[in-house]
Amino acid sequence: MSAPRGPFEVSHVVFDVDGTLVDFIGARDAALLASVGRITELTGIEVAPGDLQASFMAVYRDPEWRPRGQWVIRLESFRRVLDHLDVTNDEEVDRLATTYATTRDEALKPYPDVITTLEALRAGGFELRAASNGNMDLGVVGIEHHFAAIELAPRLGVSKPDPRFFATVAERAGVRPGSMLVVGDRVDNDYEPARAAGMHALVIDRRGVIDDPSIARIEALTEVVALVRPARP
């Protein structure tokens, strides 16, 4: 069965951040490269960017760590890598984290279709919210003023893909879930949990790799503008 593809009668549009509004992967890869350079300077040992990301994923998959938020997980992953290299100084973990965060933020850019879409939706009377498991400062890329709220998992006390993440976003906005459209780049982390929470949902599939007709997808963020109608009172 195909999912509804609009028009959606909503008052709020909720955007995922990483991979939806900003090219996080490109910025992350630049940050990992800078981080391994810092490790080599410190230890004289060459570490591959993939090793740092593998450490992150190992912590992320740990049920004890996953609810703590992506930045806390990133710090722990750095700590484990340095520990393995016999560097146990917490200050070096902090310096490595600073290298990572600074490089990532400098490399971050919104996708070309983001600002046009946000401006059009705001002009149409929709309230916009950003919702992420990460700790992205949208002020870094100059788009935070478009959002009535930026909801981050560490503050909400629950993270995606738990549907309670989106239920909490709706509760904090003071609206019923059915009044919200969620737009994200992942089926498992955004689309499915949003629909489970009773919201409308779309997947932004910029590379055109989703071929499941049951999933409501778009290839450009600007398509959202034609797929929403202001909810009737």
Give the list of residues 6+ apart from residue 223 with CB closer than 8 angstroms, or none.
none
Instruction: Label residue 77 left, alpha or beta by phi (over 0 means left) and psi (-120 to 50 means alpha).
Output: alpha
| CB 221, CB 114: distance < 8 Å | yes
Mean pLDDT, the chain, integer: 93
User: Which DSSP category does 146 fall into?
Assistant: G
For residue 180, what is the enclosing H or E element?
strand 180-184
What is the C-alpha separation between 170 and 178, in angstroms, rounded?
A: 9
Handedness of CA 168, 174, 177, 181 (dihedral sign): negative
Give the fold, CATH level 3, of 8-23+109-230: Rossmann fold (3.40.50)
**Interval 153-174: pLDDT, tens:** 888 989 899 999 999 999 999 9
Confidence of residue 150 (pLDDT cuts 50, 70, 90): very high
Taking alpha carbons only, the member of 188, 179, 171 closest to residue 16 is 188
Q: What is the pLDDT of residue 233?
A: 62
Q: Which amino acid is at 35?
A: S
**Interval 170-188: pLDDT, tens:** 999 999 999 999 999 999 9
**Interval 116-144: pLDDT, tens:** 999 999 999 999 999 999 877 898 899 99
Mean pLDDT, rounded, for 82-94: 94
Give the list of residues 6+ apart from residue 94 with CB closer than 8 angstroms, or none.
none
Spell out the domain ranges in the chain. 8-23+109-230, 25-107
